[in-house]
Structure 1
Amino acid sequence: MSAHLTIPGAQMAEPATPQLLFVGGAGNATLAVDVVEAAIRQARKRGLRIHVTNQEATLAATPAITALVDETSAVDFEVPGTTAAWARERAAAGDRFDVVFGVREMAQEAVAEAADALGRPGNPPHAVHRVRTKDEARAALSAAGFLQPRFLVCADEAEARDFLAGSTGPWVVKPRDAMGSEGVTRIDGPEDLAAALEFLPEEGRGSFIVEEFVEGPEYSAEGVFVDGVPHVLALTSKELLPPPNFFEVEYVIPAILPEDTAREIERQVVAALTALELRYGQFHVELWWTERGVVLGEVHVRNAGGWIHRMLAHVIPGLEWFGLVFDSVLGNPVDKAALKPVRGSAIRFLTPPKGRLVAVEGWDEVLAHPNLIHAELAIAPGDVIEEHRSVGNRVAHIAVGADTSEEAQALARKLEVSVRFVMEPVQAPVS
């Protein structure tokens, strides 16, 4: 028999409040702030104290986030090693960070480096760098036995033309490191190459990718790592603008797919994430379903954009996507069997034609619809719509929920048609 000895007058030390280091905070956009606000709410529910780091200008531009957290620091996550060095200094001064996390694509390497520096759960920095560099991710997946399109990293037009001559078209020209489908073009022959290179962002023209175009519908897998193991929450189907553009104008969750196809996609995604040495946080994996099976696209160790975080919360009632990451680190139980879609959701992104906006008709009726999850109109009369280049041209969206994916998709499309953009031509300046 053992006895518990209590010393008179002694007091038990209070456990320290666990702290979240939120690297990169929010970008200065409605969606970015909404994502981070959701993550902060879910962190608070788990008793976390929150310290946000971000670039100084963006901290100043996102006061809604600053008001919600305990502390902020100006740290530039885009400068390699800077966040990790700052975290080590804070730890040496007595700070303890129990969870390291971030939602911004460009901050993911800093998240991994800081977690590694602090000895906290995270992805290996080299693994994050690899998936953020498109050609390195392609090469790694191909070496691991996953289907990948043929590609080449090109330094100039001559190298690209040589690749076209030795491969099968059509092809895709895109930057090595970008997001939001910026600068991505499909070309059908060498005669289209010069225009595609001109379409690349200025900083992406010195080193770019040309790869064979993948024929087949596009999907993505949304998920979370629980105890280091990837768990797919749902698959998303996509509709894209027709070539030469590649950004999405519709998502449907869960994807309308045969059950055996969905299972095979999930199996391949889990295997690929494991092969890429990824083990922490959230994931968003893009892919195609082809005659040969799954062809994997880009891999992201963050939540999906495009308001998918809100759509998932509808299709899986009670889901706290960010909270699952914190639960995994804090040792809270996670019932993975309950993380299954039981309803449907869809979103349509509205892309008016080029010109100057005169008026928008039908928007108030959209906002009044009882099935609306979220809607935003980001343009006003007088604004000029430019040529479509990236997701930045998605100037409005309508997200709805329903009992099934099919019902949600039909409703979102119906509401989109009910909105009319009245446009006028933009007069060329007089020289």
Structure 2
Amino acid sequence: MAEADRQLLFVGGAGNATLAVDVVTTALEQARRRGLRIHVTNQEATLTATPTITAQADAVSAVDFSAPGESAAWARERAAAGERYDIVFGVREMAQEAVAEVAEALGAPGNTPRAVRRVRTKDEARAHLAAAGFPQPRFTVCADEEAARTFLAETTGPWVVKPRDAMGSEGVTRIDGPGELSAALGFLPGEGSFIVEEFVEGPEYSAEGVFLDGKPHVLALTSKELLPPPNFFEVEYVIPAILPEGTAREIERQVTAALAALELRYGQFHVELWWTERGVVLGEVHVRNAGGWIHRMLAHVIPGLEWFGLVYDDVLGNPVDKAALKPVRGSAIRFLTPPPGRLAAVEGWEEAVSHPAVIHAELAVAPGAVIEPHRSVENRVGHIAVGADTPEEAQALARKLEAQVRFVTEPVQG
């Protein structure tokens, strides 16, 4: 088959949000540069809501990735009708099981559905890693409040209460005693079982990378600053993480070993972790790119990097210079956290974001909007991402620019 006839099946398209559209636009542009034809699938309403994505595709189809088996059945029908897809890929967290099922149905490279399902179900991933010898906090899956209280009585706090399969810190709360449990359960999204686990003490990081020849390759480590407990809202990323070289090497060693133990082999990865007194403690594992504009930050710290393009190159057999996939510059982002209340004014924004080192900036609120308490990434109202020669310089600059922005809020009446 001629190179121009090679086709990418992009499962799940983009979510209807600025960041999601930017990620997928970048991924599709990198596919175009490799001569790939593009077929995008997504839920019908989201296809309509993301016209810039559908405009980049050669074909689009309304397929519900959230319905078990529907994407794989659709793909089999297309294959039976003579369609051929060389690469199956997707970036949305909630579409990763569909991506794996479609790849398996078509005989295309991909992760097994079982492996993806395991890492998307947080307690199953924890149990699998613990069985493989990786340190993990004690945890339990609870059907109700009574089960959670039993676990609290048998363990030493503090603890974390969280849903089994959500993302973006949605519904995640730290509690220091049984008296805080009911409120934490009320913060969970939806109903059903949930997880209670021991809180891990230590700074949090993540590893961003890609699978090449079936093996994980860490591109960079990201350090994080979070709002104080009880919440886990991330307010800063710095890439590469400012760490001693030996610590960084140990984190990378543990991450790559864990990905192999979890039987993952394809696409991108974003692995969350803590550095503790006992070394690396792994958190959640994702078989997709990181959020929070990290895809743009990585492109600054590794000049010429095409993160999504590496996935396509791996399938197509294009040469990849692994030695060049290392950070040589620094980047940082600050997520703005104005005080809750009705927004009366924003001062200093234009001056801050006019700085030539700004990679990307967005303000998603305007005077009159109500600022809610910051509980998850869904509450992010703006950000400033910068690039510099070193991560230390980037961090200092991002914090300086954030300090130039002042949000004036008033109490919400009624």
TM-score category by the smaller chain?
over 0.9
Opposite residue 162 of structure 1, the aligned amino acid is T
Q: Stretches of 4+ moved more than 4 A in 1?
A: 13-16
The C-alpha deviation readout for 1:93-130, integer Å capped at 9, x for no partner, is 00000000000000000000000000000001000000
1:268 Cα shift?
Answer: 0.3
Work out the number of aligned pairs and report it: 414
Name the counterpart of 1:411: 397
The C-alpha deviation readout for 1:290-331, integer Å capped at 9, x for no partner, is 000000000000000000000000000000000000000000
Name the counterpart of 2:114: 126
1:390 Cα shift?
Answer: 1.1
Q: Distance in 2 between matches of 1:52 and 1:320?
A: 20
1:151 has 2:139 as partner: yes
Q: Distance in 1 between matches of 2:138 and 2:166?
A: 19
Name the counterpart of 2:63: 75
Q: Distance in 2 between matches of 1:212 and 1:57?
A: 40
1:27 has 2:15 as partner: yes
Q: Distance in 1 between matches of 2:195 and 2:23?
A: 30
Q: Distance in 1 between matches of 2:281 and 2:243?
A: 16
Name the counterpart of 1:173: 161
Q: Distance in 2 between matches of 1:38 and 1:239?
A: 26
1:389 Cα shift?
Answer: 2.3
1:93 has 2:63 as partner: no
Q: Distance in 1 between matches of 2:374 and 2:247?
A: 33
1:386 Cα shift?
Answer: 1.4
Q: Distance in 2 between matches of 1:355 and 1:14?
A: 59
Opposite residue 347 of structure 2, the aligned amino acid is E
SS in 2 for 1:149: coil
Q: Distance in 2 between matches of 1:228 and 1:32?
A: 26
Query: Can you give the 5+ residue segments of structure 2 that lack an aligned partner in the other structure?
Result: none
1:367 Cα shift?
Answer: 2.1
SS in 2 for 1:250: strand
Q: Does the 8 A contact of 2:4 with 2:35 survive in 1?
A: no
The structure having more radius of gyration, on CA atoms, is 1
Name the counterpart of 1:392: 378
1:375 has 2:366 as partner: no
Q: Distance in 2 between matches of 1:384 and 1:177?
A: 29
- The Cα RMSD (Å) is 0.8
Opposite residue 279 of structure 1, the aligned amino acid is R
1:320 has 2:332 as partner: no
Q: Distance in 1 between matches of 2:57 and 2:125?
A: 35
- Equivalent positions of 1:15-414 (< 5 A) are 17-201=5-189, 203=190, 205-414=191-400
Q: Distance in 2 between matches of 1:78 and 1:46?
A: 29
Q: Distance in 2 between matches of 1:14 and 1:307?
A: 35
Q: Distance in 2 between matches of 1:14 and 1:232?
A: 32
Change over 3 Å in CA distance of 1:15–1:250 after alignment to 2: closer
Opposite residue 31 of structure 2, the aligned amino acid is A
Query: Can you give the 5+ residue segments of structure 1 that lack an aligned partner in the other structure?
Result: 1-12
1:16 Cα shift?
Answer: 6.2
SS in 2 for 1:67: helix
TM-score by length of 2: 0.99
Identity within the alignment, %: 83
SS in 2 for 1:25: coil
The C-alpha deviation readout for 1:148-193, integer Å capped at 9, x for no partner, is 0000000111110110011110000000110110110000001111
1:14 Cα shift?
Answer: 5.5
Opposite residue 382 of structure 1, the aligned amino acid is G
Q: Distance in 2 between matches of 1:216 and 1:367?
A: 32
Q: Distance in 2 between matches of 1:169 and 1:307?
A: 33
Opposite residue 343 of structure 2, the aligned amino acid is L
The C-alpha deviation readout for 1:385-418, integer Å capped at 9, x for no partner, is 1122211111000000000000000000000010
Q: Distance in 1 between matches of 2:24 and 2:192?
A: 34
Opposite residue 179 of structure 1, the aligned amino acid is M
The C-alpha deviation readout for 1:304-360, integer Å capped at 9, x for no partner, is 000000000000000000000000000001110100000000000001111000110
Q: Distance in 2 between matches of 1:391 and 1:367?
A: 21
Moved more, 15-24 or 29-38: 15-24
Q: Distance in 2 between matches of 1:199 and 1:67?
A: 38
TM-score by length of 1: 0.95
1:15 Cα shift?
Answer: 6.1
Q: Does the 8 A contact of 2:139 with 2:197 survive in 1?
A: yes
SS in 2 for 1:311: helix
Change over 3 Å in CA distance of 1:155–1:411 after alignment to 2: same
